[in-house]
């Protein structure tokens, strides 16, 4: 069996996946802790590839390896900035893994990998989409006319720090009013806490007890029909839509795919975001933009990395069927 191996290297864990390239089916996933020290990190990535191949019970031979890395990667695949994975900065993972395993290696931004998986699995019917992951921050990948957009330096597709509220909440990047302060998974928790602080969230703080008022709590209470939670969800969907409106006006995608833990809220979130997006006059006139929730879950990045690796050696194959 020929397999493409995909690694999604996070700040705390590495997810490894083997993809049967003849069927497009992923056959194994494994998870490992991420060492921070650079040489230990390199060793862990090689071990993760071995482990993913091992899961195929000796039947798998790697034809390509893809690696998703969080941070700003140059067009050469080398990380220039990676606050959540400092051990990867300046390291040529492509050469390191290619020498070790003797196959082509693709290294890309983790959100770009996720976007590629979204394109093949969640939006195979369109050529242009924006995939946005709403997590601790916001990650995004842009697929326009069937290709990932990397920009002049490799840094394209980082809308989390678009300013959507001049003078708004201070972001860890040093700016004020960045989109991810409001529209990330953590942003949902911030909006909920703000509602409590402004006496609009008594039922939220009561339900939280001694715990924190976070996005998961809002999702749970919203599913139970709690009015104050639904009000926070409305507000959150509005913030998500503000950033999406900017992206749609810039890029004109046919589909927006939302990922991250908050998509567990499901249709109540999706429908609110789509309605809020359509309320912008520039969005609703003359086009239809469909908002979808990713079906891929936490393995999306590793799957996309494997799919990008396979694309690099095959030029297409099953993925274009």
Angle value at C-alpha 302, between 74 and 88, nearest 5 degrees = 40
**Among 74-82, 88-96, 155-163, 264-272, the segment contacting Zn ion (CB under 5 A):** 155-163
- For residues 87 and 137, which CB has a smaller minimum distance to Zn ion in the complex? 137
**Among 118-126, 154-162, 282-290, 295-303, the segment contacting Zn ion (CB under 5 A):** 154-162
Task: Extract the tokens encoding 224.
Answer: 């139970």
Q: Minimum distance between the CB of residue 79 and Zn ion, rounded to whole angstroms?
A: 19
Q: Minimum distance between the CB of residue 265 and Zn ion, rounded to whole angstroms?
A: 24
- For residues 85 and 138, which CB has a smaller minimum distance to Zn ion in the complex? 138
- Sequence-ordered list of residues with C-beta below 8 angstroms from that of 127, at least 6 positions apart, any chain: 143, 144, 145, 146, 254
Sequence length of the chain is: 321
The DSSP code sequence of 214-230 is -HHHHHHHHHTT-HHHH
What is the C-alpha separation between 97 and 86, in angstroms, rounded? 18
Q: Tell whether residue 171 is a contact of Zn ion (CB under 5 A).
A: yes
- For residues 179 and 236, which CB has a smaller minimum distance to Zn ion in the complex? 179
**Do residues 71 and 79 lie in contact, with contact meaning Cβ atoms separated by under 8 Å?**
yes
**Do residues 188 and 232 lie in contact, with contact meaning Cβ atoms separated by under 8 Å?**
yes
Q: Minimum distance between the CB of residue 138 and Zn ion, rounded to whole angstroms?
A: 9
Among 36, 175, 203, 223, contact with Zn ion (rule: CB under 5 A): 175
**Do residues 287 and 1 lie in contact, with contact meaning Cβ atoms separated by under 8 Å?**
no
Among 80, 94, 100, 161, contact with Zn ion (rule: CB under 5 A): 161
* Of 222, 227, 257, the residue nearest 240 (C-alpha): 257
- For residues 100 and 161, which CB has a smaller minimum distance to Zn ion in the complex? 161
- For residues 36 and 175, which CB has a smaller minimum distance to Zn ion in the complex? 175
Q: Tell whether residue 283 is a contact of Zn ion (CB under 5 A).
A: no
Among 178, 192, 247, 262, contact with Zn ion (rule: CB under 5 A): 178
Size of the site for Zn ion (CB under 5 A): 5
**Among 109-117, 159-167, 220-228, 258-266, the segment contacting Zn ion (CB under 5 A):** 159-167
Q: How far is residue 28 CA from its own chain's centroid?
A: 20
What 8-state DSSP symbol labels residue 33?
E
**Among 102-110, 149-157, 174-182, 222-230, the segment contacting Zn ion (CB under 5 A):** 174-182
Q: Tell whether residue 136 is a contact of Zn ion (CB under 5 A).
A: no
- For residues 185 and 304, which CB has a smaller minimum distance to Zn ion in the complex? 185
Q: Minimum distance between the CB of residue 172 and Zn ion, rounded to whole angstroms?
A: 7
- Sequence-ordered list of residues with C-beta below 8 angstroms from that of 290, at least 6 positions apart, any chain: 254, 255, 256, 274
- For residues 173 and 227, which CB has a smaller minimum distance to Zn ion in the complex? 173
| Count of Cβ atoms closer than 10 Å to residue 250 Cβ | 12
What is the C-alpha separation between 189 and 184, in angstroms, rounded? 9
Among 40, 75, 173, 250, contact with Zn ion (rule: CB under 5 A): 173
Q: Please report, as ranges, the residues that interact with Zn ion according to CB under 5 A.
A: 161, 171, 173, 175, 178
């Amino acid at each position: 069996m020929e397999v493409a191996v995909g690694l999604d290297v996070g700040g705390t864990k590495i997810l490894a996946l083997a993809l049967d390239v003849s069927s497009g089916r992923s056959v194994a996933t494994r998870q490992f802790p991420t060492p921070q020290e650079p040489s230990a990190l390199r060793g862990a990535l090689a071990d993760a590839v071995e482990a993913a191949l091992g899961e195929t019970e000796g039947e798998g031979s790697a034809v390509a390896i893809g690696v998703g890395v969080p941070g700003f990667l140059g067009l050469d695949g080398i990380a220039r900035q990676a606050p959540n994975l400092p051990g990867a900065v300046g390291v040529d993972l492509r050469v390191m893994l290619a020498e070790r395993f003797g196959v082509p290696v693709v290294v890309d931004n983790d959100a770009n990998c996720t976007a590629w998986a979204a394109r093949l699995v969640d939006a195979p019917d369109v050529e242009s989409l924006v995939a946005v992951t709403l997590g601790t921050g916001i990650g995004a990948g842009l697929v326009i006319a069937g290709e990932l957009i990397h920009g002049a330096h490799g840094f394209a597709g980082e809308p989390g720090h678009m300013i959507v509220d001049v003078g708004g909440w201070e972001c860890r990047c040093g700016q004020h009013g960045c989109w991810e302060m409001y529209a990330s998974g953590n942003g949902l928790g911030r909006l909920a806490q703000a509602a409590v602080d402004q006496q609009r969230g008594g039922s939220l703080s009561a339900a939280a007890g001694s715990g924190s008022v976070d996005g998961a709590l809002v999702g749970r209470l919203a599913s139970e029909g709690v009015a104050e939670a639904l009000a926070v969800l409305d507000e959150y969907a509005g913030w998500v839509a503000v950033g999406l409106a900017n992206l749609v006006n810039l890029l004109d995608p046919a589909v927006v795919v939302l990922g991250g833990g908050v998509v567990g809220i499901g249709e109540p979130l999706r429908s609110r975001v789509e309605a809020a997006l359509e309320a912008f006059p520039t969005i609703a006139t003359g086009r239809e933009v469909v908002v979808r929730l990713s079906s891929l879950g936490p393995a999306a990045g590793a799957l996309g990395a494997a799919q990008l690796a396979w694309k690099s050696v095959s030029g297409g194959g099953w993925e274009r069927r």
